[in-house]
Amino acid sequence: MKVGEAAALMGADATSISAEMFDKQIRDYSIDSRSVGAGELFFALSQQDYARAGFNGEFVDAHRFIGDAFERGAIAAVARKDHAGDLENVKDRLLLVDDAIAALQQLAHRVYTAWGKPVVAITGSAGKTTAKELTAHVLASAGRRVLKSERNYNNGLGLPLSVLRMVSEDRSPDQFDIAVLEMGMSSPTHEIQRLCKITPPDVAVELMVAPVHLEYLGTIENIAAAKAELIEGLKPEGVAILNADDALVMKMRDKHQGRTLTFGMDNAADVSATEIDTRSLGKIEFRLRTPLGEARASLAMSGRHNLSNALAASTVATAFSLPPEEIARALNTAQPPKMRGEVFDFAAGFTVIDDSYNSNPRSLLNMVRTMAEGGRGRKRLFVIAGEMLELGPDEIALHREAGREIAATGVDVLWGVRGLGQEIVFGSREAGLKVTKFFDSSDEAAAELAKDVKEGDLILVKGSRGVATDKIVKALREHFPLVGEDER
């Protein structure tokens, strides 16, 4: 896409841009001056833009970094008109708009509209990225050319940036047949409703509703209402895909009058799993059943929650008429995303489950139970649980209850990390767990674990993203080789 074309699609004032600049090709799109690259269009975001778009918190005005972006090779910048007076020295490289985030979203929407092919949108309190990766993998294995959200780009900035990958780095929209996009929310500001306006979904997937972001949303019913905006934003002829094992998700059925497909294990569903075997860490075997038939399948992941994500992906594939044998073949080759249930076997005889990307009470207990089921025969079942963020006024009670439930699974050791991680430890002690510790930071826990880990240990590492429990796994990998690695 050329600079002049982008300006027209955003409705930007480009009167100060030269004709030569108009014809320059944009290589990519950036909102971070620190990582902007040569030929990229830089969007200078400000507090006013963030507030209108429903983002919580205070943000630095990026107009002050436009010069830095140009030094790093940015071809042009999108800036607010009310900042133009402060940017006279670079006005010949500015596209002026009323709101930079709105301009980014409008550009993505116009690219999507011109492309005009199906969008699969996925939301849920947990599992979005895993379900997105599995869905994209299954569809790609069936020959679809898939655009997918990068990492967990699922908000009002990440989603449009993902869409703009269709017109970045010499790509063109006709290289893609389908988009698989995460849609997330963390506040009661209709975030998902806004995302649906950028890319209205043809298929909408609701994974689960759990107590996350309670700090901003207050109740689980409010969370469910916010998640239901995805079904409300579904195209009338689209397909709603609902988790039959989640009562709050199933209540969303009335939000869409068109086709609905369900998935589940515990309740009757259109797509289901039977003959489930989760005894081996890093492997689930099951029989996949769909309206088009059934097939034996295997998934290189751990836990029923990941099987549920695989069933969601299978239901999307079913909506596109893929037969179960083809879905099963694709699932057999899928791998877990980084820090989401990855299993590492170390040469020293211990194993680590790295689920350190994020945490909430439900996902924490799911992983602990998965570890306990797959860890029979291990010398020690060892849980390292980081603080869980954004749980609202009941955060202390939720952490203590998590500790009590962890103790009930029969684990041998529990370490809490940072802040309210101490409440997890307190709860586990109340339930009779004897071997516990608390650490103020992941760095402290990592240093101690490197000295304490033993042959035969099975260790789960999990915590909210802000706690950075992935540092613990990284430290172990720096101290100890994996099975098959050079021990030097």
pLDDT mean by block of 10 residues, the chain; 488 residues? 96 91 95 95 96 90 96 96 90 96 98 98 94 98 96 91 96 97 89 97 96 83 95 97 98 96 98 93 95 97 93 98 98 91 94 93 92 89 96 94 97 98 98 97 97 96 94 96 74
- For β-strands 271-277 and 284-290, DSSP reports them as antiparallel
Q: Identify the pLDDT of residue 374.
A: 86
Q: Is 264 exposed, middle or buried (0-12, 13-18, 19+ CB in 10 A)?
A: buried
With contact defined as beta carbons under 8 Å apart, do 1 and 173 qualify?
no
The CA angle 18-23-25, to the nearest 5 degrees, is 125
Which single residue is written with the structure tokens 């083809």? 326
Q: Taking the CA atoms of 253, 259, 265 and 266 in sequence, report the sign of the dihedral they define.
A: positive
CA distance 274 to 484: 35
What are φ and ψ of residue 265, in 5° steps? Answer: -120, -35
The CA distance from 275 to 328, in Å, is 14
Contact (CB, 8 A) for 332 and 435: no
Instruction: Give phi and psi for 276, each to the nearest 5.
Output: -80, 130
What does the pLDDT read at residue 337? 84
Q: The tokens of 201 are what? A: 């979904």
Closest C-alpha to 297, from 280, 309, 283, 317: 283
- pLDDT attached to residue 488: 46
Torsion from C-alpha of 215, 221, 226, 231, nearest 10 degrees: 160
Per-residue confidence (pLDDT) for residue 482, from 0 to 100: 95
- The structure tokens listed for 25 are 């090709």
CB neighbour list of residue 212: distance below 8 Å, 6 or more residues apart: 125, 126, 223, 360, 390, 391
Ranges of beta strands (E only) in 252-348 are: 259-264, 271-277, 284-290, 293-299, 342-345
Question: Which residue in this structure is represented by tokens 């709105």?
Answer: 102
Residue type, 400: R
User: How long a stretch of residues is the chain?
Assistant: 488
Query: 463, 353 in Cβ contact below 8 A?
Result: no
**Owner of token pair 């799993």:** 273
CA distance 298 to 145: 24
CA distances from 466 to 391, 425, 462 (A): 13, 19, 11
Distance in angstroms (rounded) separating the CA atoms of residues 299 and 284:
5
Q: Measured at the alpha carbon of residue 206, what is the angle toward residues 203 and 207, in degrees to the nearest 5?
A: 130
Tokens of 151: 């990492």
| The pLDDT value given to residue 486 | 59
**Letter for the amino acid at 121?**
A
Q: What angle do CA 280, 281, 286 make, to 5 degrees?
A: 55
pLDDT of residue 380: 96
